């Protein structure tokens, strides 16, 4: 077990509201190994933030267990808090303090002496190319700078595991790529990183292993290559019509080269390994049956096809 950094088993969170129970996480089990960059991928509302909230002791689970480095998040939250660094989804920097002070006080809250905290803060600001901004107010920072300050702040007390909740959401593409470089460097130095994201591209290009999450549970978990092989090297042809696609799905299933097909509402998905050779015939099926074709999309084997295969739904970012 020594190489397991984070573990959850049948983790659940149900919120009771006046309008009934909301099941945010419905039985989530996963294992993050030490030294890996682990991604929780899922659409908005999949339960990623609630999961990170439970792993970082901010949300109390209603079922199952979760631990960080063997310390249970409910029974021993203080040990967990000592071991983790957290970069929340929103800018929670202390607006009354400067950039340097934000880092310093984070270190002192965690038990560093004032002198040690200052030295560590200066080192981290240097490392994140924020040295010249040390005395700046946090309200003067751009989105990307604030995000780097938050990461630096989370690292002040040398955490064993760094959690980042949607770290690049709302950042421009260039800033996002810069942030990826920072995370890759940290991983190369041996940090364990857990990040949630709703960007498929981010999970694909950054993470060692990925847990695909929807409706509060893990649909699939593994390296990108494993995940792709789980759903097969299939391409999905996604067609949208002006009427119910159900009436042509039977006919599509009969076509040569179509492995499977499914319809929901006005959309139809055909799974195939030979997309080029069936596309021409496929687009004619609808019009022959009186349906106008509105949109055609070719989804090559990727996390997106994994998601389509697992959920029968298109991925919505």
Q: How far is CA 204 from the centre of its chain?
A: 10
Q: Which is nearer to other proteins, 59 or 278 (CB)?
A: 59
301, 225 Cβ separation under 8 angstroms: no
Distance, in Å, from the CA atom of 199 to the CA atom of 228, rounded to the nearest integer, reads 17
Q: Which is nearer to other proteins, 182 or 279 (CB)?
A: 182
Least distance (Å) between residue 244 CB and other proteins: 42
Residues of the shown chain interacting with other proteins in the complex, contacts defined by CB under 8 A = 15, 53, 56-60, 78-79, 81-82, 84, 86, 88, 90-97, 101, 105-106, 108-112, 114, 120, 123-124, 126-127, 153, 155, 157-160, 185-186, 189-191
Least distance (Å) between residue 76 CB and other proteins: 11
Q: Which is nearer to other proteins, 158 or 313 (CB)?
A: 158
Q: DSSP characters for 195-245?
A: EEES-HHHHHHH-SEEEEEETTEEEEEE-HHHHHHHS-S-EEEEEEESS-T
Least distance (Å) between residue 172 CB and other proteins: 23
Least distance (Å) between residue 32 CB and other proteins: 14
Least distance (Å) between residue 111 CB and other proteins: 5
Q: 302 — phi, psi (to 5°)?
A: -170, 180
Q: Which is nearer to other proteins, 71 or 239 (CB)?
A: 71
Distance, in Å, from the CA atom of 215 to the CA atom of 84, rounded to the nearest integer, reads 26
Q: Which is nearer to other proteins, 57 or 235 (CB)?
A: 57
């Amino acid at each position: 077990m020594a190489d397991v950094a984070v573990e959850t088993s049948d983790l659940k969170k149900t919120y009771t509201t006046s309008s009934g129970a909301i099941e945010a996480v419905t039985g989530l089990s996963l294992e993050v190994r030490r030294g890996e960059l682990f991604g929780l991928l899922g659409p908005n509302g999949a339960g990623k933030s609630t999961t990170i909230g439970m792993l970082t002791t901010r949300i109390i689970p209603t079922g199952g267990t979760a631990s960080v480095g063997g310390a249970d998040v409910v029974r021993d939250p203080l040990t967990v808090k000592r071991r983790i660094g957290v970069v929340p989804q929103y800018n929670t920097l202390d607006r009354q303090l400067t950039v340097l002070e934000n880092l310093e006080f984070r270190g002192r809250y965690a038990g560093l002496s004032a002198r040690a905290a200052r030295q560590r803060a200066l080192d981290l600001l240097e490392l994140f190319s924020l040295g010249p901004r040390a005395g700046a107010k946090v309200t003067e920072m751009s989105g990307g700078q604030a995000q780097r300050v938050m990461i630096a702040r989370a690292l002040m007390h040398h955490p064993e595991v760094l959690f980042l909740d949607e770290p690049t959401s709302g950042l421009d593409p260039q800033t996002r790529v810069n942030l990826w470089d920072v995370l890759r460097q940290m991983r190369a130095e041996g940090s364990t990183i857990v990040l949630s994201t709703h960007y498929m591209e981010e999970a694909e290009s950054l993470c060692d292993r990925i847990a695909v999450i929807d409706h509060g549970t893990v649909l699939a978990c593994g390296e990108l290559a494993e995940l792709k092989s789980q759903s097969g090297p299939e391409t999905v042809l996604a067609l949208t019509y002006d009427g119910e696609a159900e009436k042509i799905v039977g006919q599509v299933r009969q076509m040569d080269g179509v492995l499977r097909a499914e319809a929901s509402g006005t959309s139809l998905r055909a799974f195939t390994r030979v997309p080029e050779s069936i596309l021409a015939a496929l687009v004619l099926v609808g019009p022959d049956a009186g349906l106008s074709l509105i949109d055609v999309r070719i989804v090559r084997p990727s996390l997106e096809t994994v998601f389509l295969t697992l959920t029968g739904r298109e991925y919505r970012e």
